[in-house]
């Protein structure tokens, strides 16, 4: 069990691991907080991307620098018997950096709190290594913090298990399933609160993916913006998939890299993105692209913003799924439903769903 200081330190480690502006890449986001024997924070650290010190090494470096710069050696902080609180199991792998489990041992820590075991077989084993060396390792983590640690690297973990990016499909539609009116207009089906949430969702993904039809019709910027129009620090890669012609995407200052995936095959597109180190894809349009991924069974979750609006006619949110009879329907499991109320009083419903296993 965690004591109050350790729980607070884990919350802080999760915060620094999730801070905006960190680079994309096929590496987990990890935070570490070092505590002295009294539960006072000695140092913090986090991983900043491939080739940079891991979170534990970063925190140890900060702690050592603090000790070196202390004017009174007798009161300088010591790592002997300290507690390391980490969001992910310390690694045992030597790559561009050394193994974190060994670094903690060498520093003389007495206890390590681990929020999430490492699913990567190449790097896992830190818990066993530390315990074999006599270090107290705590894995009994409160459910809310364990869930937060798991969510921190959903795309990375999914990539390890499936060798492809996690795919989230975002849909905004009316109560009768329309994504646009008969004349093609779609701004705005949902209210301000839903649209702001979408931009927050974009900051958590590596890539926004649209089809050439959407790129041609809407000329979207595919950026993550604040309500005032300024860009968030962390911008996704902007990808367009398809073989049709389309004008170049608008490129405001600070926008993410724009890439073209010249294929209509969802599997080929995901293979390309995975090879680029991208681990979480947000599908944003249009209906042909949505249908292609659904037919291929490559949608892992759906975020649907449902507006209390009727159009009666217009563009469907998805294209033909190849379903001709009710028994062939694609059933979804509802994970969450949350009302989103805008300043003007308009309330949309956000549904989080995933396809049911066959």
DSSP assignments along 245-286, one per residue: --PPPP--TTPPPEEEE--S-HHHHHHHHHHTT--EEEEEE-
Report the CATH superfamily, name and number, of domain 4-153: Cytidine Deaminase, domain 2 (3.40.140.10)
| Residue 11: Cβ within 10 Å count | 16
Which pLDDT belongs to residue 67? 67
The number of CA neighbours under 13 Å toward the Cβ of 307 is 25
pLDDT value of position 70? 60
- Give 109-135 pLDDT, tens digit per residue: 999 999 999 998 888 999 999 999 999
Question: Which pLDDT value is given to residue 174?
Answer: 94
Tally Cβ neighbours within 10 Å of residue 42: 21
3-state secondary structure of 4: helix
Residue spans of the domains in the chain: they are 4-153, 164-355
- CATH for the stretch 164-355: 3.40.430.10
Query: Annotated active-site positions, please?
Result: 56
* Claim: this prediction has a pTM higher than 0.95: no
Low-confidence ranges of the chain (pLDDT < 70): 20-25, 67-77, 358
Number of H helices, E strands in the chain: 10, 15
Q: How long is the chain?
A: 358
């Amino acid at each position: 069990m965690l004591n109050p200081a350790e729980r607070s330190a884990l919350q802080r480690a999760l915060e620094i691991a999730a801070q905006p502006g960190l680079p994309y890449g096929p590496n987990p986001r990890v935070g570490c907080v070092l505590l002295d024997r009294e539960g006072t924070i000695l140092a913090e650290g986090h991983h900043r991307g491939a080739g940079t010190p891991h979170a534990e090494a970063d925190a140890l470096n900060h702690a050592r620098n603090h000790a070196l710069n202390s004017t009174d050696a007798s009161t300088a902080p010591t790592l002997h018997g300290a507690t390391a609180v980490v969001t992910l199991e310390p690694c045992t792998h030597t790559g561009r950096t050394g193994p974190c489990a060994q670094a903690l041992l060498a520093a003389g820590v007495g206890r390590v709190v681990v929020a999430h075991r490492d699913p990567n077989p190449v790097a896992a084993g830190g818990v066993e290594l530390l315990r074999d060396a006599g270090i107290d390792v705590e894995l009994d983590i409160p459910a809310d913090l364990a869930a937060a640690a798991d969510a921190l690297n959903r795309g990375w973990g999914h990539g390890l298990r499936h060798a492809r990016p996690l795919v989230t499909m975002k849909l905004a539609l009316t109560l009768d399933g329309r994504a646009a009116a008969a004349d093609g207009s779609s701004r705005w089906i949902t209210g301000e609160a839903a649209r702001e949430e979408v931009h927050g969702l974009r900051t958590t993904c590596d890539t926004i993916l649209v089809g050439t039809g959407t790129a041609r019709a809407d000329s979207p910027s595919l950026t993550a913006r604040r309500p005032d129009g300024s860009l968030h620090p962390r911008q996704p890669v902007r990808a367009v998939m398809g073989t049709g012609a389309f004008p170049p995407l608008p490129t405001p200052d600070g926008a993410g890299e724009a890439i073209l995936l010249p294929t209509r095959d969802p599997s080929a597109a995901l293979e390309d993105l995975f090879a680029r180190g991208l681990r979480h894809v947000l599908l944003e349009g249009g209906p042909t692209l949505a249908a292609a991924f659904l037919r291929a069974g490559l949608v892992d979750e759906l975020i649907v913003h449902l507006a209390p609006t009727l159009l009666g006619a217009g563009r469907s949110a998805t294209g033909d799924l190849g379903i001709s009879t009710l028994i062939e329907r694609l059933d979804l499991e509802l994970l969450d439903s949350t009302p989103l109320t805008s300043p003007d009083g308009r309330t949309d419903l956000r549904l989080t769903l995933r396809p049911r296993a066959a």
